Amino acid sequence: MSSEEYILKQIKQIEEQLIKQPEDAELIHDLGVGYHLIGNYQVAVIQIERAIKLSPSNKTYLFNLGNALAESEEYQKAIEIYYRVLDLDPSHIPALNNLADCYEKTGSGDKAFEIFDYITRISPDNALSFFNLGNFLLRANRHIEAVKCYRKAIETEPDFTDAYHNISWILTEAKAYKKAKEYALKGLETDPENEDLIKLLREIRN
């Protein structure tokens, strides 16, 4: 059974349960999440909104609604929902990250940077926060600043393979092949079968 077939089976079971419990917010929410997982974001939005009407202050429901809206490219609506999550929990890191992503996708790069940077300050022990900021800076062609963030991610979490890869890639682009190779090899120490690093290392050697 494929993962999609498994999810469709779960959706059917939830729908059967809802016949007996039509006002069960958790079941309705789970139904929405199921549709999200198979890529039917419009139906996901409808179902999760139904759950929120029954439980307006449930930050998990709100967060998943924001995610479904973002996947539907309804970024402004998603932004509004993420702020509702943050009203309930100002340090909700996933909501902050996704809020920053939405701002970036709507062309508000300054606002996105402000939020990504803010996350690193409220969560300085979270390597992913520095990695996400590094990725934003990389997309903005601010490579030197990106490398600093990736190094910070590695300092916080020494086996952060993707951070090694991204530093190596930036150094390769800058034709600093010796240093690029060093980072690629360090990354492979953390994940010897990482295909992206193996491919990058071949390019460096060629």
Interval 161-198: pLDDT, tens:
999 999 999 999 999 999 999 999 999 999 999 999 99
What one-letter code names the amino acid at 53?
K
The reported pLDDT for the residue numbered 1 is: 64
CA pair distance 203, 79, nearest whole angstrom: 40
CA pair distance 172, 156, nearest whole angstrom: 24
CA pair distance 76, 106, nearest whole angstrom: 8
Interval 66-96: pLDDT, tens:
999 999 999 999 999 999 999 999 999 999 9
Quick one: three-class SS letters along 135-173?
A: HHHHHCCCHHHHHHHHHHHHHHCCCCHHHHHHHHHHHHH
Domain spans of the chain, in order of start: 130-206
CB-CB contact of 82 with 98 (8 Å): yes
> Selecting from 3.30.390.50, 1.25.40.10, 1.20.1050.10, 3.30.70.330, what CATH number does the domain 130-206 have?
1.25.40.10
